Amino acid sequence: FEQSPQAYLTERRARLGKARGIDVTPVDAQIAERAAPRAPKGWEGGDENRKQLAALGVALHDGSSGTDWSVQD
């Protein structure tokens, strides 16, 4: 392989996002906003944000190092 898995996934996300008209900047901003209500266990706000992003075709992936996202296939 010529590139790292992370580089491949980032490139794939950009390619699929562009094909579906998803702008990366607002998605990243919504994920950052989602972190605020989740910090004090305000799950409802985070869940609403997840639903909004899902409607755009964005899947969120929560992990120990934070939230990442991908374009839904």
Asked if pLDDT for residue 42 goes beyond 80, the answer is no
Average per-residue pLDDT in the chain? 85
Looking at the chain, the whole-number percentage of residues with pLDDT higher than 90 is 41
Residue with the larger pLDDT of the pair 21 and 33: 21
Instruction: Read off the pLDDT of residues 14-31 as tens digits, 9 standing for 90 and up.
Output: 999 999 999 989 998 988
Dihedral pair phi/psi, residue 40, rounded to 5°: -90, 25
Chain mean position to CA 36: 15
CA atoms of 29 and 7, how far apart (whole Å): 21
Q: Which residue has 């374009």 as its token pair? A: 71
Residue with the larger pLDDT of the pair 58 and 44: 58
pTM for the structure as a whole: 0.69
At 38 the pLDDT is 61
Cβ atoms of residues 69 and 31 within 8 Å: yes
